[in-house]
Amino acid sequence: MDDLVDAVDIMTQAFFDDPLWRHLLHDERKRRRMLPEFFRKFLQRGIECGEVYGAGRPLQGVAIWVMDRHGGDWISRPSEAAYMDLLLDPSLTSSSNARTIFSTLDALQLRHAPGPHMYLSSIGVAAEARGSGVASRLIKPFLALADGCSMPIYTETVEASNIPLYEHFHFKIVQTISVPGTTLTIWSLLRCPRA
């Protein structure tokens, strides 16, 4: 992906009001300053591993996909380990329970996708392109790939408004959980391979 600056802008915009990021970075000014830095590092690491995909010219949307061919602890992969280092960096997050949140996310993925699977880590679409099919262009090719490999796809969301998009692509909610010590709700979603 050659559009790192645009990708950072899109992801920052898409996640600025996300409940998770509002919880981790309570102060809006700090969030405005820190989110671009987080997404720059996160996307750079993803690009190094070939996991970041874009749609549109100019860029309108970004998705981070991870293929776990072996199952098991997803944090053991280099890009995900780097992601966790970023998320738990005290300069990025002011939340004392960040570790609890991300441990919960990890445990949910291990519970619902213990074997080989694809993981939709993040997806963001520019505000002006929402509702125009950009998210579909970032998701559909990977549905076909997963179906061809007979692999399930796992994702999660903390935003209830995202659930209809995932359900449109045949994801099913497999668990809903409230994270202790927070106001966050996590919906775990799984899409089984289709013939």
- The pTM assigned to this predicted structure is 0.87
Instruction: Specify the amino acid at residue 96.
Output: S
Mean pLDDT of 153-174: 97
Report pLDDT digits (tens) over 65-109. Answer: 988 765 554 444 444 555 566 566 666 555 567 778 888 898 999
CATH class, range 4-191: alpha beta
Runs of H (alpha helix) within the chain: 4-15, 19-24, 28-48, 78-87, 98-112, 134-148, 163-168
Domain spans, the chain: 4-191
The predicted-structure confidence for 6-55, as pLDDT tens digits, reads as follows 999 999 999 999 999 998 888 899 899 989 988 998 898 888 777 899 99
Give the pLDDT of residue 76: 43
**Pairing state between β 172-178 and 52-55:** unpaired
Q: Quote the pLDDT of residue 88.
A: 60
pLDDT value, residue 44:
87
pLDDT given for residue 100 in this prediction: 82
